[in-house]
Amino acid sequence: MKERARFAPSPTGPLHIGGVRTALFNYLIAKKSGGSFILRIEDTDSKRTVEGAEKHIIDSLEWLGLNFDEGPVKQSERKSLYKKSVSSLIEKGLAYYAFDTADELEKARKASGGNFKYNFTTRKSLANSFSLGEEETKRRVKAGRFVVRMTVPENKTINVVDQVRGGLSFNSEELEDKIILKSDGMPTYHLANVVDDNHMNITSVIRGEEWLSSLPSHVLLYEHFGWTPPKFYHLPLILKSSGAGKLSKRDAEEQGHPVFAVTWEGSMGFKEAGVSPEGLVNYLALLGWSNSSDREKYSLEELVKDFNDGGINKSGARFDYKKALWINHLHMKDFSAEKLLSLSDESSTRLKEKYTLEQSEEIIDLIKERLNTALDINKELKVFLGQPKEYDLAVIKKITREVVFDILNFCKLSKPLMSDPKALKEKLMGFASKNGISFGNIMKSLRLCLVGSLTGPDLFKIIKIIGPEETLNRIESLTNKI
Ligand code: GLU
């Protein structure tokens, strides 16, 4: 069956990584079946709507390549549909008007000793169309200050199925007559969500587990309307790295990693931190879904092919930024030279000025294995763009002037070999043993001259690329500093 799955965020703030994962699982379940991925913006609560949030949601999905087939459908534009649905329930006694003021409700709450539930046990003693009679109800409805609540039947067992956890049973006693239409004429989440899922022919509802407790009310609403409910999947939380609780923006900041796909009000997103959309999508898929093998790298298309909803985990998954960077690394090392160069505009322009296209590609090949994020590209290209600007002082202390001069002399005589990394290395090894200097010591000194620290790719390949003149210049420069 072709699934129709919708991602239905409320634009009450930026799209958090938990929301991104929900969107991704919606996408995967829809696409796996050849169906549709739909975006619905649940913006019925105008007081909580945050400017720019809808754009942030759309920008994030776009950057990640999670292209929606329909939408965005905006609930705020569908008010009349909800009103009509509510009227049909009121006519059948499956929903009713309630007129209680905030003070009255507070009083009832206090009188109940903190156990108050607006339902069949209390309904009769409160101000609503069940307790007030037809005339009074009409008068108050005309006055316009009311909400509409759903009628929860007495002593009914409500059986629900969550595809992640299996069957669950609730007694209607546990439920409230939830408000479904607010005093401003707007539907609440519960009503709009059910009405829209039915009207949009949604076949699978995939959302965060915080909505599991609303499921019996939703299932009851489907029953009231006489509609068949879709399948439900409630995804476990993304936990902070310590495992203690839900990952928040603050935890992420403390751990020094992003929590949004793209930037929000000055906070860096994964995009700005140099993580690729391919890497983030891959990491998030593995966060909450177990594949049957230990395979780690997947493209979005491969995920669509391999994803199986039986592999969705029941318990929360800890966010692990190191693992996210590792997965990103697996993608970056398979990117083409052209793509990697496009990810670092400043250094790549300079690289192209200095080297031929072939050389630039050779350089990119050399640094590929060392990239975790796009920001690493600039760092790794530095060695090919000029002399080190600073030297690792701790290493300077460990090397000797004599050895650096020996290397300088060796290099002066070995210029013709510099375009042949293997031959140069062999000759340098011979030179080291003939002069009784440890090869390790020579390598350390040479690397410091050329790179400024003990990091970086294969030294002999660096020499081949920067050439004999630049190599000698860099060694000479260091002789002036030690
Ligand atoms: N608007 C809800 C949210 O932002 C959607 C929940 C659902 O998908 O049903 O979490």
CATH number of the domain encompassing residue 220 = 3.40.50.620
Let me know: does 162 contact 233? Beta carbons within 8 Å: yes
- Please check whether residues 400 and 474 belong to one and the same domain: yes
Q: What is the dihedral of CA 273, 287, 244, 9, to 10 degrees?
A: 80
- Please check whether residues 15 and 150 belong to one and the same domain: no
- Please check whether residues 48 and 114 belong to one and the same domain: no
Helix spans in 144-265 (H): 189-199, 215-225, 249-255
How many Å apart are CA 157 and CA 220, to the nearest integer?
10
Classify residue 388: in a domain, yes or no.
no
> What number does the ligand 1 atom closest to the CA of 12 have?
4
- The residues that are catalytic are 249
Classify residue 401: in a domain, yes or no.
yes
- Please check whether residues 61 and 202 belong to one and the same domain: yes
pTM for the whole thing? Answer: 0.94
How much is the pLDDT for 346?
85
Q: Measure 440 CA to ligand 1 centroid, in angstroms.
A: 60
Classify residue 464: in a domain, yes or no.
yes
What stretches in the chain show pLDDT beneath 50?
Answer: none
How much is the pLDDT for 85?
98
- In the block, tokens 């000025």 appear at 353
Q: How many other CB atoms are there within 10 angstroms of residue 76's CB atom?
A: 15
- Please check whether residues 260 and 318 belong to one and the same domain: yes
- E-only strand ranges, 42-143: 70-74, 95-98
Q: What is the identity of the amino acid at 470?
A: E
DSSP string, 315-376: S-EE--HHHHHHHHHHHHTTS-HHHHHHT-HHHHHHHHHHS-HHHHHHHHHHHGGG-SSTHH
Classify residue 136: in a domain, yes or no.
yes
Task: Please report, for the domain that includes residue 286, its CATH number.
Answer: 1.10.1160.10
Let me know: does 180 contact 187? Beta carbons within 8 Å: yes
In this structure, the residues whose C-beta lies within 6 A of any atom of ligand 1 are 8-10, 42, 189, 193, 205, 207-208, 211
Chosen domain end from 143, 159, 181: 181
Q: What is the pLDDT of residues 6-41, one digit of tens each?
A: 999 999 999 999 999 999 999 999 999 999 999 999
How many domains does one find in the chain? 5
- Please check whether residues 231 and 246 belong to one and the same domain: no
Q: Measure 205 CA to ligand 1 centroid, in angstroms.
A: 9
Classify residue 137: in a domain, yes or no.
yes
Chosen domain end from 238, 254, 270: 238
- Please check whether residues 321 and 310 belong to one and the same domain: yes
Q: Which domain holds residue 292?
A: 241-332
Q: What is the pLDDT of residues 461-478, one digit of tens each?
A: 999 999 999 999 999 999
How much is the pLDDT for 314?
94
> What number does the ligand 1 atom closest to the CA of 22 have?
8
How many Å apart are CA 186 and CA 192, to the nearest integer?
9
How much is the pLDDT for 345?
79
The two three-digit tokens of residue 286, written as one number: 């593995």
